[in-house]
């Protein structure tokens, strides 16, 4: 397929590379053009403007936030002026997803945020959560296969996929908060964190979320960040906006947002979002 | 071994039966003597007073709360007057575990709370979390093997096992709260609960806690209760007392306690503790 | 003075009328022109465009939210193109206040949000909280005297006044939440709300906030709303955005936002913001 | 009247002294007898056992906690064996008040907790909140007049007064928490605490609670403590027990309990309960 890819951060570069490997004809664009060089070496064409990447079958976007997506889609020379199906992988607000769906060009719009960190992106092992018209998702499926290990279809309205993605990220933060509180209680009561984690992961709590983040908490591996606290706070704020829009009280979301604010204030912006555990410990003077 | 077993509720009866099956010589006592009949048929000896069950190698207790344990141990004819090693399986306060450790008789005391519901107890598949003197735990090991699938040793101080047990129950409630908030947000935003759960359990959240309780939440299976909300609130209040004693702020614990109070107030005392989800939904007018 | 007034809702109309009464030469503009008629009868000049109200000494704005202010200031024919000192009374975000300060025209910009409901506005008894250049506030002082009973100067940076206003509104919601929780506890324990309120206002809690809102809670006077829950949620969300921007955890703010969401979901958009008490009671099944 | 007074801490000593001044015949008892000397000089009789202070018309108790009251009432030589009307001023649990009411001797029992700090006690300016049989409260009224500035009658069931007292203390902590969050937000946004407090106390928040505690927060006067954080946590835990018993979710109570735990953990046991503000600031890295 002829595919455009806009947004070549760590995630986007890895995803675009996997599309090339899978034999697709890929055109790339990035705000800072230096990031396109490596992909050009792998066979990608470099576009001058986002819209130049949106003239084929599909254009994918993987950007940092709402503002970046708005600029790339609605700006001058934006992909909104192209004819390709737009598949949005970015973690954006539900409101922007609705706007993208409502104002998409002839190609249509699918939201397809992903779960997974850069190593999973490099390995083509992302989880893809897609929503939009069924036929449009079908057209994207060969591409999802190239970048991910599994596709979930969650509805006709693109924003549904974004809502699921935000819910999933909230679930991650909630699990980290729970482990942080339990470990802090245990530690103050004389049981070390590793001992508690072994019981938890040896019984009911043996999911990747517990194993991965449990180890981070036990070993204090908060730097370098796999996903920074400010990015986590951005996502939790998007979830909060959805909660306001839909009228859903979410007290646990309120706690993790407070702890993200706290850890950024005390530790700086380079801390991992699992650093909410540091806010919990600090409150207990651990 | 000569083993006494005190407390023949659903859990205790199943545990005592497995001890008999494993070839141990079991003497049982229960406050309401009618429960002892079934075990007597299986070969158990019936004791007149708790202390009569505490003259062998080991006496195990599996009771509802601190008050019941205090009555059976410190009361007239209590096991505190016996010579057996006391292994306490009940979910009790950290403070009472410390008191039991400090005042145990010549046999000593081990705390060994368990994770698992009645079917797991019947199948001998409990998880046993033990703390106390190493040699004492060793003596109990053949018995733990008869009732459980795995033994975790978490320290020399018996109360450590109770702290771990309370932390684990807190983790269960925290996971239910997180799923309930995420599902309510999703539902109000147009994504049904099952769709969200499939994505969660298909990605990072595939532990038994998510599968078991996720299904309960999706299918509204809150009655009959596997574990009632009042019992859950009792345990969360024990965790809260430990948090006060050790100086550990636990905002997430505060939330689940409030939601347990709420669901008991609105639904009655027979609701499952996973009914915290109903408190979450009610707040959102779902 | 020659004064423009933009935004003639309940509050704005009353404020503009007081300026006329005080002898100022007032030009008014409102999005729906029908609201200007009454003021024209009192002697105001009707402007065609916002900028036409911004050619005198001062132009005041009193609008519903950030969006309305942005439209009136930065839009075509907006007051940003005038020469008058802009005094903004609206409850807007700290971020927008910073933007207004940074992009103000030759006349300069002062933020001067007010405390008080429509009756206080009609009586010229508002509290005015102003921030900006000292000389600019001095210029506005005769106008503040016409609309308010007292002026507070809170700094050189206009956004400081908005931060104080949002903090004040948060304090109101916090007091309502506290009274609601205490009254619900008391009521479930057999002490009626009025009895509790009498003790509170008879001892340490005799401020207008307790008297006014205490009565509302005791008598269930949630409709018609003095200030609706959606407007309250808007303000609390602005406070939340400031908390994120400045890195301040605010768990109590999280609670009141959740309860506002809840009461809007269950009661509808016309409920008073003191209706958070209904969310509290509902959780307790009162 | 012939009055016994049991419990001669700072509060109790001042209250007993005022009873003597008012012309009553006072017999005192205290666990550490050294505290009785000063009152003996003022004319009090020293009792050997609590029951010796409970043979007149009324015996008043003012003790630290449930345990102290239980010891003095139900213990050997306790006032439960006397014939006087027992008026309990201590801040105790609702459950213990119910027990005292149910097991009181021929004299009956009235709960009459007080609001006010030691200087108010010394000046006879306490607020007295009484509940119990109307005739019994009538009998106590001359004594309440000697120690307090105002009497509130809140019902027939003694525990109602304790519930009101706990609710009032919760309201104090809630107001401190609200001011602490608002001041921290303001401060991080560039508005100093005093400036914010002036606006608050100059508008809707001019109650003694705001003035007294507002100054403490602005000036960091957390030591020496007027009322220590551990005592505050004790009271909030009693409120929490009532909330559990009556089925009232109280999220704001959860927050202040967490912040009390936090400030005790970080600052030690001698900090004032208004030190919850330090927990708030610490979370914001102020």
Residue of C nearest to D244 (CA): C185
Q: Which pLDDT belongs to residue B12?
A: 97
Q: Which pLDDT belongs to residue D33?
A: 87
Say how far apart CA B46 and CA B43 lie, in whole Å: 10
What's the token pair of residue D21?
């001044």
Give the residue numbers of A marked as catalytic.
165
d(CA A206, nearest CA chain B) in Å: 5
Residues C244, A257: C-beta atoms closer than 8 Å: yes
What would the pLDDT profile of A101-120 be if each residue is shown by its tens digit?
A: 998 888 999 999 999 989 99
d(CA B2, nearest CA chain C) in Å: 50
Q: Which chain C residues contact residue D154 at CB under 8 A?
A: 191, 195-196, 199
Say how far apart CA A208 and CA C9 lie, in whole Å: 55
Say how far apart CA A37 and CA A27 lie, in whole Å: 12
Terminal CA-to-CA distance of chain C, rounded, Å? 55
What would the pLDDT profile of D60-106 be if each residue is shown by its tens digit?
A: 999 999 999 999 999 999 999 999 999 999 999 999 999 999 988 88
Q: Mind listing the pLDDT tens digit of every residue in chain B (286 residues)?
A: 999 999 999 999 999 999 999 999 999 999 998 889 999 999 999 999 999 999 999 999 999 999 999 999 999 999 999 999 999 999 999 999 999 999 888 899 999 999 998 999 999 999 999 999 999 999 999 999 999 999 999 999 999 999 999 999 999 999 999 999 999 999 999 999 999 999 999 999 999 999 999 999 999 999 999 999 999 999 999 999 999 999 999 999 999 999 999 999 999 999 999 999 999 999 999 9
- The alpha helices in C23-130, defined as continuous H runs, are 36-41, 66-74, 94-102, 118-122
Say how far apart CA D258 and CA C129 lie, in whole Å: 34
Say how far apart CA A252 and CA D63 lie, in whole Å: 39
Residues A265, C255: C-beta atoms closer than 8 Å: no
Residues A181, B207: C-beta atoms closer than 8 Å: no
Residues C259, A248: C-beta atoms closer than 8 Å: no
Residues C283, B282: C-beta atoms closer than 8 Å: yes
- The alpha helices in chain A, defined as continuous H runs, are 10-21, 36-41, 66-74, 94-102, 118-122, 134-147, 158-188, 193-202, 208-219, 229-246, 251-267, 276-283
Say how far apart CA B103 and CA D270 lie, in whole Å: 32
d(CA C81, nearest CA chain B) in Å: 41
- Test the B interface: residue of D95, D240, D247, D255 with most B CBs within 10 Å: D247
Q: Which pLDDT belongs to residue A43?
A: 95
Query: So what's the ipTM on this one?
Result: 0.96
Residues D258, B247: C-beta atoms closer than 8 Å: no
Ranges of residues in chain A with a pLDDT under 50 are none
Residue of D nearest to C95 (CA): D189
Q: Which chains touch B (3 or more CB pairs under 8 A)?
A: A, C, D
Domains and CATH numbers, chain D: 2-157 (3.40.50.720), 162-283 (1.10.1040.10)
Q: Which pLDDT belongs to residue A33?
A: 87
Residues A249, C243: C-beta atoms closer than 8 Å: no
Summary mean pLDDT of chain C = 96
Q: Which pLDDT belongs to residue B137?
A: 98
DSSP E strands: which ranges in chain D? 2-6, 25-29, 45-46, 58-61, 85-88, 109-111, 114-115, 126-130, 148-153
d(CA B123, nearest CA chain A) in Å: 16
CA-wise closest residue to B108 among B73, B147, B69, B58:
B58
The answer to whether residue C274 scores a pLDDT higher than 90 is yes
Q: Which chains touch D (3 or more CB pairs under 8 A)?
A: A, B, C
What would the pLDDT profile of C96-145 be if each residue is shown by its tens digit?
A: 999 999 988 889 999 999 999 899 999 999 999 999 999 999 999 999 99
Residue of A nearest to D259 (CA): A283
Q: Which chain D residues contact residue A265 at CB under 8 A?
A: 188, 283-285
Say how far apart CA B215 and CA B196 lie, in whole Å: 11
Q: Which chains touch A (3 or more CB pairs under 8 A)?
A: B, C, D
Say how far apart CA B60 and CA B112 lie, in whole Å: 9
Residues of A with CB under 8 A from a CB of D: 251, 258, 261-262, 265-266, 279, 282-285
The answer to whether residue C35 scores a pLDDT higher than 90 is no
What is the band of D164 on the pLDDT scale with cuts at 50, 70, 90? Answer: very high
What would the pLDDT profile of D171-187 be if each residue is shown by its tens digit?
A: 999 999 999 999 999 99
CB-closest option in D244, D247, D251 to B237: D244
CB-closest option in B189, B204, B245 to A209: B204
What's the token pair of residue B102?
């400090």
Q: Which pLDDT belongs to residue C33?
A: 87
Say how far apart CA A256 and CA D72 lie, in whole Å: 46
Q: Which pLDDT belongs to residue C148?
A: 97
Q: What is the 3-state secondary structure (H, E, C) of A114-182?
A: EECCHHHHHCCCEEEEEECCHHHHHHHHHHHHHHEEEEEECCCCHHHHHHHHHHHHHHHHHHHHHHHHH
Handedness of CA A190, A192, A197, A203 (dihedral sign): negative
Residue of A nearest to D285 (CA): A266
* Whether this model's pTM surpasses 0.90: yes
CB-closest option in D155, D250, D283 to C249: D283
Q: Which chain A residues contact residue C251 at CB under 8 A?
A: 254-255, 258
Asked whether the beta carbons of D190 and D225 are under 8 A apart, the reply is no
Catalytic residue among C2, C165, C188, C234: C165
Non-local CB neighbours of A263 within 8 Å, separated by 6+ positions = A229, A271, A275, A276, A278, A279
What is the band of C236 on the pLDDT scale with cuts at 50, 70, 90? Answer: very high
Terminal CA-to-CA distance of chain B, rounded, Å? 55
CB-closest option in B258, B261, B282 to C282: B282
């Amino acid at each position: 397929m002829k595919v455009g890819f806009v947004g070549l951060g760590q995630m986007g570069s890895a995803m675009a590379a996997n599309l090339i490997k899978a034999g697709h004809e890929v055109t790339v664009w990035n705000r800072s053009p230096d990031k396109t060089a490596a992909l050009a070496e792998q066979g990608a064409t470099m576009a001058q403007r986002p819209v130049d990447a949106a003239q084929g079958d599909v254009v994918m976007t993987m950007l940092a936030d709402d503002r970046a997506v708005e600029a790339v889609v609605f700006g001058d020379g934006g992909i909104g002026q192209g004819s390709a199906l737009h598949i949005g992988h970015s973690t954006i607000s539900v409101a922007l997803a609705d706007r993208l769906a409502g104002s998409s060009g002839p190609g249509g719009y699918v939201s397809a945020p992903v779960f997974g960190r850069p190593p999973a992106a490099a390995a083509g092992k992302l989880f893809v959560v897609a929503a939009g018209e069924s036929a449009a998702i079908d057209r994207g499926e060969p591409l999802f296969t190239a970048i991910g290990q599994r596709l979930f279809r969650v509805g006709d309205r693109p924003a549904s996929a974004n809502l699921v993605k935000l819910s999933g990220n909230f679930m991650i933060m909630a699990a980290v908060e729970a482990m942080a509180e339990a470990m802090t209680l245990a530690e103050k009561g004389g049981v070390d964190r590793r001992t508690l984690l072994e019981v938890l992961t040896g019984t009911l709590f043996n999911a990747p979320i517990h194993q991965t983040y449990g180890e981070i908490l036990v070993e204090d591996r908060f730097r370098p960040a796999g996903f920074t606290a400010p990015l986590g706070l951005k996502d939790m704020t998007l979830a909060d906006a959805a909660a306001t829009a839909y009228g859903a009280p979410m007290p646990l979301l309120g706690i993790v947002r407070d702890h993200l604010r706290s850890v950024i204030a005390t530790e700086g912006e380079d801390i991992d979002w699992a650093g909410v555990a540091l806010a919990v410990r600090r409150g207990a003077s651990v």
